[in-house]
Structure 1
Amino acid sequence: MTTFGLFVDFRRLDSSGRSAAAHGARTLELLAGAEALGCDAAWFTEHHGFADGYLPQPLVLAAAVAARTTNLRLGTAVVLAPLRHPRHIAEEAALVDVISSGRVELGLGAGYAQAEYDAFDVDMARRFDRTDSVALEVRRLLGSGDVTPGPVQRPLPLWLGYQGPKGAHRAGRAGMGLLSLDRALFEPYRQGLAAGGHDPGDARMGGLVDILVADDPPAAAERLLPHWLHQQNTYRALMRRPDGSRPSPLDEDKVRQRLAATGRLGALQVLDVAGAVAELRRRLDGLPAHHVFAWLSLADMPDDLVERHVELWCGPVREAVRNSGGDTDATGPAARLES
């Protein structure tokens, strides 16, 4: 059964009016409330050096959420494996698994930002080979008894966050889950499983979908525009072209024009319940999708949009996708997240 989760980047914008401490408390409150609404999982990401406080230590926040919840799966999408020693990752993941009574899903990835590698004084040139070797060593350590306390789950679920066909093949060859729902990667992943001596029938995929759910999608998309623009421009600031130059920031007027023409903010779709259910059924059909997750909050978007998105995603969208042909009407009574 596919779990429905929320993807947490922990950004805080000045417009929220909250302190960092209040923002942290609010995040814990939202995730505990999401669990009560039916959410299955929270997934935590990683970046470094963002002025808006983008989450730098995903397993630290996962431990805090573990203490506030009872059933929520706690995933990383992803820990930047080349920036850490494998024993450090294994010990931290095992401890969170103990604290949570066996709810960790450990996703590892390579990252793409030269500035982050520079900050940790790590060579970026062989990051994919390094990610593979760290992942294999983490798996060995978690199963060896050398890490104490050891994890509750034996084995602890491991994932690789690769997004291209070569990476999908690597994930399969290693016998790990693939943190992507890109249909084009399914076959390379299966081929990798077979090449590594693993049963292709054991394929596991999961990942982020750029969907936000709202009662009035056009109105919500207009309010989300500055938050999406902030998100995209901070990502673009990390990127480098082959010649070393940076992409220019996106222009708000051009983004608004594209929104008017397409109804989308880039790849992000703001949908009502029926639209989200239809889109998810299309994306997940035929894939071994163990996990699907949407943003908890897009770059610290307004509280009312966060709360309604969470209750619709964790309630009627989740229920309808799990129960083919189920009721997708979101107008009936639903539990409200307390602000």
Structure 2
Amino acid sequence: MRSEAVRFGIFTTLEDAGLAHDAGYEEFLDQAVLAEELGYDSVWLAEHHGSAYGTIPRPSIFATAVAMRTSRIRIGTLVTILPFCNPVRTAEDWAMVDVLSGGRVDLGVGRGYQPSEFALMGADPTFSREVFSEGLEVLLGLWRNESFSFTGKHFTLRDAQVFPRPIQSGGPPVWVGALSPEGFAVVAKHGLNLAMQPTMMPMPVLKDAAVEAARTLIDHGRRPESIDFPLQMMVHIAPTKAKAREIAHEPINWFFDRVLTKVPGAQGPAAASYEFYKQVADQMSGAVSLASLEEAGIVMVCDPDQAIETLTQLQTDIGTKQFSAWMRFGGLADEHVRNSMKLFAAEVMPHIPTDSPTPAAFTNSEIEPFTTSV
């Protein structure tokens, strides 16, 4: 029987790996329909600009297309980049998608990290943290109040309203992509939760970040059992691990050959407040192989049994309640994506424990971290 406590989704950046854009969009829309038919709970989209790394520059537009093709599955972002758009516009856009989808929106937000995108959008990454913080306050204020006023360094509003109003009371659930204590404090301040992804972060480091974030939220009054960190991870499932690796290794190489050039510090100095990414760039500056990514826990390329083992361990370590599988990556053929989606739905999802107890490390500061270095 399908687990009711753990929710599963699919994720995409819609990379341009040689497939015509209209065909690529249509292909993923069909995969979203399949996900709904197979019992997945959500579809997650990532915003990117100006490169083959991702072709969803306006996630609200593509989310609307997904909403028109589906009837049940939730539609979210991991993430929408707040500093690239006026937060009033972001609030309006996603309120409209919430209405058009019948209240099925989950909005993940972040401050962005790719220097080339900031340059393209005419934004200064040096100020991204404060622009993000103000933008988030405006977004939530507009959704949580009939009328909202705000005075900040970057945004000022007086008795502002958004129309249409979101269907979901107080607006769609908002998840924050954050890696630092400063980001965790923002999440705690607004009573939100953290969205996490180990795309360029070894799994032990991500688990440490989850524990630190959870402790921060608890210190701010959050009930431990209410903490929910949606986790997104690159996944390919096949009947055997060897077959999964055979199918996935070239698309994964395609992806990481590109993403590692996008990290702050990879092609010049990293802007202030992006020091973590510089550490990642330094650590992953050499050749990246599927074996090294598997060793770091960054990808899940395996058979169903190993996937069950990995996900069950994530429940134990960081209380995973939502897991989003990034199955369409690096030009992987539609046939292989669909096979992986079907196998994951049939042989993994039903066997994940329904109970995700609060990890002991969240409430016991004496428990040793998963790693001591980045």
Same fold by TM-score, threshold 0.5 exceeded?
yes
- CA offsets 1:121-180 (integer angstroms, 9 cap, x no match): 111112122212211210111122321111111132011001234423331232111002
Q: Distance in 2 between matches of 1:68 and 1:322?
A: 31
Kindly state the Cα deviation for residue 195 of structure 1 after the two structures are TM-superposed. Answer: 5.0
- Pick 1 or 2: higher relative contact order, CA cutoff 8 A, min separation 6: 2
What corresponds to 1:144 in structure 2? 145
2:177 to 161, 176, 180: 161
What does residue 92 of structure 2 align with?
91
**CA positional deviation for 1:120:** 1.5
Matched, 1:317 2:348: yes
- Deviation of the 1:266 alpha carbon: 7.5
2:119 is paired with a residue whose SS is helix
Size of the alignment, in residue pairs?
317
**Residue of structure 1 equivalent to 2:7:** 3
Q: Give 1:60's aligned residue.
A: 61
Encode CA deviations 1:196-254: one digit per residue, 9 max, x unaligned: 45445432211212332111322332332221122112112222428816969988xx6
Q: Post-superposition shift, 1:102?
A: 0.8
8 Å contact from structure 1 (residues 171, 192) kept in 2: no
- Counterpart residue identity of residue 339, structure 2: R
Gaps of 5+ in 2: 147-160, 198-205, 271-280, 356-374
**Aligned-residue offset at 1:34:** 1.2
Alignment TM-score, normalising by the size of structure 1: 0.84
* Alpha carbons of structure 1 residues 23 and 287: separation in structure 2 relative to 1, 3 Å: same
Map of 1:91-130 to 2, 5 A cutoff? Answer: 91-130=92-131
Cα deviation code 1:18-61 (max 9, x no counterpart)? 43212211111111011101111011011111136532222211
**SS class of match (1:111):** coil
**Residues 48 and 56 of structure 2 are in contact (CA less than 8 Å); yes or no, is this contact kept in structure 1?**
yes
Matched AA of 2:233: V
Match of 1:298 among 329, 346, 370: 329
Distance in 1 separating the partners of 2:52 and 2:16: 9
Task: Tell whether the 8 Å contact from 2:254 to 2:330 is kept in structure 1 after alignment.
Answer: yes
Other-structure match for 2:42: 41
Q: TM-score, normalised by structure 2?
A: 0.77
How many angstroms apart in 1 are the aligned matches of 2:7 and 2:300? 20
Shift of 1:112: 1.0
Q: Unaligned regions of 5+ residues in structure 1, if any? A: 325-339
- State the partner residue of 1:278: 309
AA of the residue aligned to 2:115 = Q
TM-superposed CA distance for 1:322, in Å, is 4.3
- What is the aligned partner in structure 2 of residue 229 from structure 1? 253
- SS of structure 2 residue aligned to 1:172: helix
Contact between 2:251 and 2:330, CA under 8 Å: does it hold in 1? yes
> What do you get for the CA RMSD once the two structures are aligned?
2.7
Decide whether the 8 Å contact of 1:91 with 1:148 is kept in 2.
yes
CA contact (8 A) 1:233 1:250 kept: no
Q: Distance in 2 between matches of 1:223 and 1:106?
A: 32
1:220 matched to 2:244: yes
Q: Distance in 2 between matches of 1:150 and 1:92?
A: 10
Distance 1:172 1:28 in 2: 35
